[in-house]
Amino acid sequence: MNIFATLQRIGRAFMLPIAVLPMAGILLGVGGAFTSGPLIETYQLTFLQDGTILNRILKLCFNAGLFVFANLPLLFAIGVGIGMANRNKETAALAAVIGFLLYHTVISTVLGFQGLTPDSTSIDALTKAGISPDTAVGLAALYTKELGIFTLQTGVFGGIMCGFLSAYITNRFSEVQLPDYLAFFSGNRLIPVITMIFFIPLGLLMPFIWPPIFKAIVFSGEAFSSMGYIGTFLYGTLMRLLNVFGLHHAIYPLFWYTELGGVMEVGGQVVSGGQKIFFAQLADPETIKFSSEATRTMTGGFLPMMFGLPAAALAMYHCADSKNRSRIKGIFLSAALTSFLTGITEPIEFTFLFVAPVLYGIHAVLEGIAYMLMHILDVAVGITFSRGLIDFTFFGLLQGTEKTSYHWILILGPIYSIIYYFLFKTIILKFNISTPGRNDTDAKLYTRKDFDEKEKSKKPQSKGNKPLIELIVSQLGGIENIKSIDACITRLRVTIHNQSLVTDEASWKAIGAKGIFRSGNAVQIIFGTQAETYKNQIIAKYQIS
């Protein structure tokens, strides 16, 4: 499997645990905002005071959301185990849980042998031992508790590692047949046994190999931070360019959930990763201002997603031929609202990506500038999933300008709309680019009629017509050519045996796809938000494990 296909699989594996974060973040945001003492006092919201029914409900919501962020390493272990397992995914999930607990238990035991305990590794204990305060903070950050187990701070990296190892064990050993006298332990029952064998040595090694790795990761995060605003610009631009290939899912979690995104002490606890820091601060009543250093890999997206791309959709609408405007008005409006409300931008982005890549390049640079501007202006609005009105409301508006400086998004947003509108309109007209509805080309978003026809095609038809999922499988070279199949938000992600059997882009567009990307034995077909549904239908129909 080539590196593109590997990164594609890693990206979709990461998406499984990340999928739980939007709801958890909303519960945390709402619960934290409306149980805030200053907010209750300022607006005289006596019905939300301590002891009231609403206050208790909101605190319940707050704690329900908080537990997710407190246990991200375990969730990543399970999610990566399921995502990277080729088959027997439920067995991989069990192996990930067993392995994760065993891994940290063994580490804790070895640390005990070394005389290291929660008391001896606290900042106070280290400073009393003659270590300088700055060094003591760094050393204390190396240790933590996972599910009550004193262990090394391997965080989400440790969870990902446990997930990969559990998936490898499942893929390698779940089909092994043992002799008759051991037959009970054959197949899936062998996996817990093998898990013990693999994870005990891993736990034994980590106390010796992790400290220098941890320091290297922290150093890399500090190097990224030292790049300042230029680093933020490069991050925003590169993430948007990687989005073309669906590889951004394999990169941004490392900045959001690990030391690469920064390390900060919040409420007496050392927290690693940009998003984790933001939500730790959200949960901390003592936090006066959220850290823009932590949110530098998140906040910048609000300008292009809420304001820029809807304006680009308006520009493409105005550039369409007059006779086609009534036909495309509704679909452009729908795509613009999707971007504004939810931050899901691919319906707009891939519309102009395929007909004018230069527009996508400009969009990527503008997004990088937006990230840099938000960092410069100390704006700190966190997100759970994407950067639309929903996240802006919960993590910007409800938290107030003192904590977030969200007003800059509202000030610069209209300016970004104007820039996107006139840049897109000027380039489209100057170079006569065939955007949807222009020049009578096939470059178009799909109308409600197209959608209805596509829905109809899913059902078995008479006169030889195939359901859509059968067409998809056929155009992938048949079920025998499919090695594995998965989906992210808008893309069907397939690993195939023979690339030459996959049909060309025109064939895919003829059945409703927005486009196709290939690399090695990996294929991505962009279907929009129905991709997950198609994946599930194909797996069910053809019984793909």
For residue 251, give the DSSP letter.
T
- Distances in whole angstroms, Cα of residue 525 to Cα of each of 335, 448, 468, 486: 19, 21, 14, 11
Neighbours of 407 (CB within 10 A): 13
Place of tokens 């800059």: 408
Burial class (CB in 10 A: 0-12, 13-18, 19+), 97: middle
Q: Is 223 exposed, middle or buried (0-12, 13-18, 19+ CB in 10 A)?
A: exposed
Look at phi and psi of residue 36 and say left if phi exceeds 0, alpha if psi is from -120 to 50, else beta.
beta
Report the C-alpha gap between 71 and 511 in whole angstroms: 42
| Residue 395: half-sphere exposure toward Cβ, Cα within 13 Å | 34
Between CA 453 and CA 444 the distance in angstroms is 16
Question: Bridge-partner residues for 270, per DSSP?
Answer: 265
Q: What separation in angstroms does the CA of 349 have from each of 303, 304, 324, 364?
A: 15, 11, 20, 10
How far apart CA 485 and CA 205 sit, in angstroms, is: 35
H or E stretch covering 517:
strand 515-519
* Spatial separation of the C-alpha atoms in residues 530 and 488, rounded to whole Å: 10
Catalytic-labelled residue, pool 61, 162, 319, 488: 488
162 flagged as catalytic: no
Distance CA 34, CA 41 (A): 11
Q: Could you give the CA distance from residue 399 to residue 491 in angstroms, rounded to a whole number?
A: 34
By annotation, the residues acting in catalysis are: 488
